[in-house]
Amino acid sequence: MSENTWSTTEQKIAESAFKKAYERETAALIQHIYEKIEEIKEIDSLWNLHDYLSAKRHQIDGRYDFRYPVLIFVFSDLMKEGWLLPEDLEGLDQDKISKITVLSRI
Amino acid sequence: MSENTWSTTEQKIAESAFKKAYERETAALIQHIYEKIEEIKEIDSLWNLHDYLSAKRHQIDGRYDFRYPVLIFVFSDLMKEGWLLPEDLEGLDQDKISKITVLSRI
């Protein structure tokens, strides 16, 4: 399988890995907001939190792009950020795993 | 004093009233966010909270306009919404108080 061709099995693994990364990142964001909210005592801090949420939403919307032609890059970015773990990719073609891993270290 | 002329004393009362309303509204918003955050368990709820904050920020930015030519209207709006109290206006010219009160009921 080349990096642009994904077998049915690989597609299922990719969908599951993508979902796991998304759930990890969004759960971590919710936890972070729980902690930040406790520090908020006045309105400027709340607007700072609003700015932070705007930036995170934009970043997450852009990052989670499940299209096969770009998936190697999406996965390498997610691995670099720590949301995708090597074990999530088990069962993918070794060439894909290598590319994702190498790119995640750049 | 007409509604467009504010004595030094009235200016001080107006500034203080404006500040009190702002502090009441923003404190209530912070309290509301504390309560809403507890209900957030997944990312869509967090994005809903983000949308809510965007709307409130826009509304508050627009509402608190301290320019004397529009202050009667700003105060009547704040009174209508419950952020400005009748006692905050004590010491202002009676004509201004009447106009603010009447407009707040429309």
How sure is the predictor about A32, in pLDDT bands with cuts at 50, 70 and 90?
very high
> Residue B14 has which token pair?
């107006």
Q: Which residues of chain A have a CB within 8 Å of the CB of B40?
A: 30, 33
Return the pLDDT at A12: 97
Say yes or no to pLDDT of A9 above 90.
Answer: yes
Q: Quick check: B89 and B11 in contact, CB under 8 A?
A: no
Assess B44–A contact: CB distance below 8 Å, yes or no. no
Q: What is the pLDDT of residue A3?
A: 63
Query: What single DSSP character describes residue B91?
Result: T
User: How many CA atoms lie within 13 Å of A12's alpha carbon, on the beta-carbon side?
Assistant: 3
SS3 string of chain A?
CCCCCCCHHHHHHHHHHHHHHHHHHHHHHHHHHHHHHCCCCCHHHHHHHHHHHHHHHHHHHHHCCCCHHHHHHHHHHHHHCCCCCHHHHCCCCHHHHHHHHHHHCC
Closest residue, chain A, to B41 (C-alpha): A30
pLDDT at B17 over 90: yes
Give me chain B's average pLDDT, please.
Answer: 95
Predicted confidence (pLDDT) at residue B90 exceeds the cutoff of 70: yes
pLDDT at A1 over 80: no
Min Cα separation A63/chain B (Å): 15
Specify whether the CB–CB gap between A93 and A66 falls below 8 A.
no
With CB atoms and an 8 Å threshold, state whether A33 touches B42. no
pLDDT for res B1: 53
Q: What is the pTM of this model?
A: 0.89
Nearest CA to B89 out of B40, B16, B3 is that of B16
So what's the pLDDT on residue B4?
72
Query: Helix (H, G, I), strand (E, B), or coil: what is residue B84?
Result: coil
Q: A53 at the B interface (CB within 8 A)?
A: yes
Instruction: Give the model confidence (pLDDT) of B32-83 as tens digits.
Output: 999 999 999 999 999 999 999 999 999 999 999 999 999 999 999 999 999 9
Chain A contacts of B29, Cβ < 8 Å?
43, 46
Give the pLDDT confidence of A81-93 residue by residue, as tens digits. Answer: 999 999 999 999 9
Mutation target to probe the B interface, by most B beta carbons within 10 A, among A25, A30, A31, A51 is A30
